[in-house]
Structure 1
Amino acid sequence: MQTTERQPFPHRRGLIIVTTLATAYVASHFFRASNVTIGLDLMRDLSIGPEALGALTGAFFFGFSAMQIPCGLLFDHYGPRRTVTGMLMIATIGGVIFTLATSWPMLLTGRVLMGAGFGAMLIGSMVVISRWFPPDRFSTLVAMVLSIGLVGNLLATTPLAWASDAIGWRGVFGFAVAFTAIAAVAVWLVVRDAPSGHPFLERTAEPPRQMLQGLMEVLRNKRLRPILALNFCSYACTFTVQGLWGGPFLREVHGMSAIAAGNVLLGAVITYQFGMLAFGPLDRLLDTRKWIAVGGNLVTVSMLATLALASQPPVWVPVAAILVMGFVSAASTMVLSHGRGIIPDRLIGRGMSTLNTAVMLGVACMQSLSGIILGAFEPLANGARSEAAYHALFGVLTVVLLGAVAIYSRSQDVRPSDEMRARHQAQGA
Structure 2
Amino acid sequence: MIQTSQGMAMDRPDVKKLERYRWVVWTILALMYIFVTFHRMATGVVKAELQEAFGIGAAQFANIGSMYFYAYFIMQIPSGILADKIGPRKTVTWFSLMAAAGSVIFGLAPTLAIAYLGRFMVGIGVSVVFICLIKIQSRWFYSRNFALMIGFVGLSANSGALLAQTPLVYATSLLGWRMTFVALGVMMLFFAGLTKAFVKDDPSEMGLPGMDELEGRPTVKSDLKVLPSLKSVLSNPRTWVVSLVNIGMYVGYIVLLGQFGVPYLMTSYGLERIPAANMIIAAVLGSAVGAMTIGYISDRIKRRKPVLVALSVLSLAGWLLFVYVKMPVSVLPVFLFLHGFAITNFTMTWTIANEVNDRRLAGIATGVVNCIGFAGAAVLPVVMGKILDAYSAAPQLGYEKAFQVLIAVVAVSALVSFFATETKAENVFVSSSN
In the alignment, does 2:239 pair up with 1:205? Answer: no
Q: Is the 8 A contact 1:22 1:146 kept in 2?
A: no
Please state how far the C-alpha of 1:122 moved relative to its aligned partner.
0.8
**CA deviations over 1:189-227 (Å, ceiling 9, x no partner):** 111111115479983624xxx311210111001121111
Rounded Cα–Cα distance in structure 2 between residues aligned with 1:325 and 1:21:
28
Q: Find the counterpart in structure 1 of residue 199 from structure 2.
A: 191
Instruction: Tell me, yes or no, if the aligned pair for 1:307 and 1:318 is still in contact at 8 Å.
Output: no
**Equivalence for 1:345:** 359
1:272 aligned residue (281, 287, 302): 287
Q: Does 1:89 align with 2:97?
A: yes
Measured in 2, the distance between the counterparts of 1:308 and 1:202 equals: 47
Q: 1:359 aligns with which of 360, 373, 380?
A: 373
**How big is the shift at 1:178?**
1.4
Matches within 5 A, 1:148-297: 148-196=156-204, 197-198=209-210, 203=221, 205-206=223-224, 210-297=225-312
Provide structure 1 residue ranges, at least 5 long, that are not aligned to the other structure: 381-385, 423-429
The residue type paired with residue 151 of structure 1 is S
Question: Which deviates more from structure 2 when the two are superposed, residues 22-31 or residues 320-329?
Answer: 320-329
1:415 match? 424
One-letter identity of the residue aligned with 1:258: R
- The aligned counterpart of 1:383 is none
Residue 328 of structure 1 pairs with residue 317 of structure 2:
no
CA deviations on 1:9-55 (whole Å, 9 max, x unpaired) are 93211121111100111111111111111012211221100000111
- Given candidates 396, 400, 410, the residue that maps to 2:409 is 400
Asked if the contact 1:21–1:187 (Cα under 8 Å) also holds between the matched residues in 2, the reply is yes
**Structure 1 residue 68 corresponds to structure 2 residue 76:** yes
Q: Secondary structure at the match of 2:345?
A: helix
Hey, what's the Cα distance between the residues in 2 that align with 1:322 and 1:62?
28
Q: 2:59 aligns with which of 51, 65, 70?
A: 51
Change (3 A) 1:112 1:8: farther
Q: TM-score, normalised by structure 1?
A: 0.90
The runs of 5 or more residues in structure 2 that have no matched partner are: 213-217
- Equivalent residue for 1:425? none
Are 2:132 and 1:124 equivalent residues in the alignment? yes
The alignment status of 1:315 with 2:329, answered yes or no, reads yes
Q: CA RMSD in A?
A: 2.3
TM-score by length of 2: 0.89
Match for 1:38 among 31, 41, 46? Answer: 46
Look up the equivalent residue of 2:371 and give its one-letter code.
T
Matched, 1:389 2:428: no
CA drift of 1:111 comes to 0.8
Where 1:281 maps in the other structure, the secondary structure is helix
Tell me the percent identity. Answer: 26
Structure 1 residue 419: Cα displacement: 4.5
Check conservation: 1:129, 1:141, Cα contact below 8 A: yes
* Residues matched between the structures, number: 410
User: What is the CA–CA distance in structure 1 between the aligned matches of 2:427 and 2:352, rounded to whole Å?
Assistant: 11
Residues 97 and 106 of structure 1 are in contact (CA less than 8 Å); yes or no, is this contact kept in structure 2?
Answer: yes
Matched, 1:19 2:27: yes
For residue 248 of structure 1, report the CA deviation from its aligned partner. Answer: 0.6
Q: Distance in 2 between matches of 1:204 and 1:56?
A: 37
Would you say 1:302 and 2:320 are equivalent positions?
A: no
